[in-house]
Amino acid sequence: MPTLQASMQFVATLACGIFAGAAIYINAVEHPARMSCGTLVAATEWAPSYKRATWMQAPLAISGFLFALIAWFAGAGLKWLIGGVLLGLVVPFTFIVIMPVNKRLLSPDLDKSSEEARQLLERWNRLHAVRSALSTLALMIFLLNF
C-alpha cells in the first residue's frame, strides 16, 4: 500500500503535469492560432477561452501546491516544498501581474480591433509564459525527485 508521502507526490506531480501541459499548449498553440485570425477575432475568442481555462488551471495549481506541501510534511525532501512553491506562485503572479491585463481585455469599452487590444494580447501571452515556465520547472523538480 502506498504511503501518504508517495500518494501526495503522485497527485502533486499529476496536477502539476496537467497544469504545465495546458499552460504550454496555450502559449505554443492556442494563443498563436487565435492571433493569426486577426486582433478582432483574437480578442473576441480570448474572453471565453480565459474563463474556461481559469476553472481548469486554478484548481490544478492550488491542489498541486497543497499536495506537494503535504508530501513535504509527510517526509518528502525540501525539493518537494520548492517545487510546490514554484507551482503555487502562479496564483499570486496571476492575481498581481496578469489580472490587470485580463481586466482590460475583458472591459466592454475595449475596441477589440484596436492596436491597444493587440498589444494587450501580446503582453498577456508573454506574462502567461511565466506561468508555463514556473509550472514546467516545478514539474521537472517533481519528476527528478519522485
Parse the chain into domains and list their residue ranges: 4-144
DSSP-derived letter for residue 22 is: H
CA separation (Å) from 13 to 56, 67, 117?
Answer: 16, 9, 36
pLDDT one digit per residue (tens) for the chain, 146 residues: 579 999 999 999 999 999 999 999 999 999 999 999 999 999 999 999 999 999 999 999 999 999 999 999 999 999 999 999 999 999 999 999 999 999 999 999 999 999 999 999 999 999 999 999 999 999 999 999 98
Rounded to 5 degrees, φ, ψ at 76 are -65, 160
